[in-house]
Amino acid sequence: MPHPLERRVIFQHIDEPGYSPDLACYLRQGGYAVLRKSVQRPPAELIDEVKRSGLRGRGGAGFLCGLKWNLVDRKSGKPIYLIVNADESEPGTFKDRYIIHQDPHQLIEGIMISCYANNVKQAYIYIRGEFPHGARILETAIAEARAANFVGPNICGGAYSCEIYVHRGAGAYICGEETGLIESLEGKRPYPRIKPPFFPAVLGLYQCPTIVNNVETLCHVKHIADIGGGAYAGIGTPNNTGTRLIGVSGHVQRPGYFEFESGKITLGRLLHEVCGGPLPGRKFKAIIPGGSSSKILRCDERFKIKQKDGTVLDWGYEDIPLDFDSFAACGTMGGSGGVIVMDDRVNLVEALGNLNAFYAHESCGQCTPCREGSLWMKKITARMVHGEARVEDGELLKNVADQIAGRTVCPFGEACSWPTQSFVQKFGDEFKAYAETKRQPRPVDALTLV
Amino acid sequence: MNLKPETLQRIDEVITHYPVKRSAVLPLLHLVQEEQGYISREAIEWIAAKLELQPINVYEVVTFYPMFRQHPVGRRHIKVCRTLSCALNGGYRTCEEFEKEFATQRGAISPDGEVTIEFVECLASCGSGPAVMIDDDLHEKVDCAKARALAAQIKAEAAARTK
Ligand SMILES: Cc1cc2nc3c(=O)[nH]c(=O)nc-3n(C[C@H](O)[C@H](O)[C@H](O)COP(=O)(O)O)c2cc1C
Ligand code: FES
């Protein structure tokens, strides 16, 4: 049962008894009515609805969807492609998986409306390799939709035609980055492309204009086409419109996946009311609020938020509303909506060691600062945990991280340095004291993270 | 290369999904690995010829993506999530439990040939960790007890097979 604080739009049917991923079930719920209605409208009108809605991308960066669509080169004479980013690989993020596995037709309807609006004739769903059942479910759903004239030639009996194919990845995180994804879809190593000149909107898949949107984003498009951009903008808060899927993992009583109106509930209510607070006898220590790359928050820090009218708000983590702008104001990001909670058993050097191993494994190796830097950050934290820790290691880690961000082809450089920079900045004492910590007997409830 | 007629048919079909043949490298590798268990040298050359590429164009893909392998694995492939959310709930212990159950180490085929156990990175099931994939199937909240139960199931299937 959804929590009373939730507002389920995208997740309306997730885990609903009796709801199945087949077309018949979707049609019983009024499925594809919005597509039928939409293909009767001029495409530009649909783009305007999306612009009016204020929809921001749910893949991580929160980029305005209407603006992204506006940037597409429509004069080149080349075909325009739409790629659905179903790579869901940012640690802590687990939301698209439920749409894909339980409600694939909602996604397909969103894709088809977006394709129609942008005059796209071919869409690809790039799904991570670790969702083999998800890929099959999507393929079955597309075949059903094709047989019913919702995908393929002459959609809903009209003149418009568009095909969707599913393309499976093979276990590489960097394929979530949109230009790495495009290279991967072209059958190559997923080395991200340099921007400029390779903005997907102009030179994307096969050097054609390409739109890359996250699974959740495209589901929102369906609801925008349904209720109208103006009405959608009334959900959530200004500049953070609509609902948001949030996943909570780690040390809470009730981890899980939820949907809320953006900005309408705080991180405190999420973790204490919805997720039941810390485990018995434990205290929250730190929170990574928007996927593993987002900067960590200390549970005892204060955030001074300057308002437009000059007043200053004084927030603890409990007071931060769940939206893009509030997290940005606190020096981190809402990112992909993956909240990772750590309690007082966790040593932050060890937690960082875990994440550094991830980033070292996933760097594509193209840019020297990232390839070497992510590896050294991993080696240093692994040495601290398994070998000898030095008082100056925190400084050393920061020094390495500071030389990566801003010096790479793609934002993986930032993604891999933000954890190190923020962990060391906020828990510097723990890094300094780690050598001493190791001389003490290891607490019985200590966790193995590296 | 000996591939089943169904696989060959799927290969020819999937190539039509793309305006450029090279895009079919990953789908072909998946199809071949599903049938043969791993990607052999011969498979690399066959796929390259099929897509009018040089073998290096396929080889560089095989060596980059973690899911493609150049050696066989055990009968069942156990992939334990190593990343933070799962580790916070005991992912490392889960992996050790599997290793103990099959008297093996990560990355190697177990002595009985039944399993290969590996750590993998985040499986996008962080809220119900530790997450484990056994072949294509996801298992959630796999603590040590559940790991033992899953291992027992695999062993029972193995025993039934050799009877
Ligand atoms: C290293 C890296 C990994 C990413 N992984 C994902 C991912 O798994 N899923 C996703 O939707 N976006 C991911 N993104 C963001 C995409 O590049 C892109 O911004 C997004 O798919 C755009 O869709 P949206 O505007 O609908 O959010 C990643 C970005 C980076 C830099
Ligand atoms: S961290 Fe294990 S599934 Fe995400």
Tell me how close the Cα of B92 comes to any Cα of chain A, in angstroms.
6
- Cβ distance A359 to A296 under 8 Å? no
**From CA A250, how far away is CA A341, in angstroms rounded?**
5
For a ligand 1 pocket test, name from A85, A90, A333 the mutation site with the most ligand atoms within 8 angstroms of its C-beta: A85
**From CA A291, how far away is CA A244, in angstroms rounded?**
14
Give the pLDDT mean for A281-294: 98
Contact with chain B for residue A206, Cβ under 8 A: yes
Tell me how close the Cα of B19 comes to any Cα of chain A, in angstroms.
9
CB-CB under 8 Å, A448 with B124: no
CB-CB under 8 Å, B121 with A170: no
CA A341 to chain centre: 17
Chain A residues with CB under 8 Å of B137 CB are: 133
pLDDT for the residue numbered A384: 98
Tokens at A114, concatenated: 């977006």
* Fold for the domain defined by B5-64: Arc Repressor Mutant, subunit A (1.10.10)
pTM of the predicted model, to two decimals? Answer: 0.98
Residue A94's pLDDT band, with cuts at 50, 70 and 90, is very high
Domains and CATH numbers, chain A: 23-234 (3.40.50.11540), 241-343 (3.10.20.600), 348-449 (1.20.1440.230)
Interhelix angle B41-50/B55-64, rounded to 10 degrees, is: 120
CB interface of A with B, residues 123-142, below 8 Å: 128-133
Pairing assessment for the beta strands A240-241 and A303-306 based on DSSP bridges: unpaired
Q: A314 versus B1: which is more confidently predicted?
A: A314
Residue B122: name the closest of A258, A245, A336 by CA: A336
**From CA B54, how far away is CA A231, in angstroms rounded?**
54
**From CA A58, how far away is CA A86, in angstroms rounded?**
11
pLDDT for the residue numbered A1: 85
For a ligand 1 pocket test, name from A58, A130, A177, A417 the mutation site with the most ligand atoms within 8 angstroms of its C-beta: A177
pLDDT in tens, A189-210: 999 999 999 999 999 999 999 9
Tokens at A351, concatenated: 């937690």
Tell me how close the Cα of A319 comes to any Cα of chain B, in angstroms.
23
**From CA A428, how far away is CA A433, in angstroms rounded?**
9
pLDDT for the residue numbered A438: 94
Tokens at B137, concatenated: 């199937």
For a ligand 2 pocket test, name from B79, B80, B86 the mutation site with the most ligand atoms within 8 angstroms of its C-beta: B86
Contact with chain B for residue A146, Cβ under 8 A: no
Residue holding tokens 């099929």? Answer: B50
Instruction: Say which of B18, B29, B123 has its CB closest to residue A130.
Output: B123
Ranges of each domain in chain B: 5-64, 76-162
Can you tell me whether residue B137 is helix, strand or coil?
strand
- Cβ distance A294 to A418 under 8 Å? yes
Q: What is the mean pLDDT of chain A?
A: 97
Give the pLDDT mean for A175-192: 98
pLDDT in tens, A392-413: 999 999 999 999 999 999 999 9
Tokens at A335, concatenated: 């990112």
Binding site membership of A19 for ligand 1 (Cβ less than 6 Å) = no
List of E strands, A121-214: 122-127, 163-168, 210-214
Return the HEC string of A58-91. CCCCCCEHHHHHHCCCCCCCCCCEEEEEECCCCC
Q: Which listed ligand is nearest to A176 at the C-alpha?
A: 1
* Fold for the domain defined by B76-162: Glutaredoxin (3.40.30)
CA A298 to chain centre: 22
Give the pLDDT mean for A415-442: 97
Can you tell me whether residue A247 is helix, strand or coil?
strand
- Counting atoms of ligand 2 from 1, which one is nearest the CA of B81? 2
List of E strands, B11-154: 76-81, 115-120, 132-134, 137-139
pLDDT for the residue numbered A57: 98
Ligand 2 interacting residues, C-beta cut-off 6 A: A 91; B 81, 83-86, 122-126, 129, 131
CB-CB under 8 Å, B85 with A92: yes
The residues with which A212 forms a beta bridge, in sequence order, are A83
**From CA B51, how far away is CA B23, in angstroms rounded?**
9
> ipTM, 2 decimals?
0.98
Residue B67's pLDDT band, with cuts at 50, 70 and 90, is very high
At position B19, the amino acid (one-letter code) is P
Tell me how close the Cα of A190 comes to any Cα of chain B, in angstroms.
9
Contact with chain B for residue A362, Cβ under 8 A: yes
Percent of chain B clearing pLDDT 70 (strictly above): 100
**From CA A175, how far away is CA A412, in angstroms rounded?**
11
Residue B88: name the closest of A60, A285, A335, A318 by CA: A285
Contact with chain A for residue B107, Cβ under 8 A: no
Percent of chain A clearing pLDDT 90 (strictly above): 99
Residue A448's closest chain B neighbor by CA?
Answer: B92
List of E strands, A262-325: 284-288, 297-298, 303-306, 312-315
Give the pLDDT mean for A108-133: 98
The answer, yes or no, to whether residue B163 has pLDDT greater than 90, is no
Residue holding tokens 């981890």? Answer: A255
Binding site membership of A415 for ligand 1 (Cβ less than 6 Å) = yes
Tokens at A107, concatenated: 């996604």
Contact with chain A for residue B133, Cβ under 8 A: yes
Contact with chain A for residue B1, Cβ under 8 A: no
Residue B162's pLDDT band, with cuts at 50, 70 and 90, is confident
Spatial CB neighbours of A339, under 8 Å, sequence gap ≥ 6: A92, A246, A247, A248, A249, A267, A270, A271, A287, A288, A289, A290
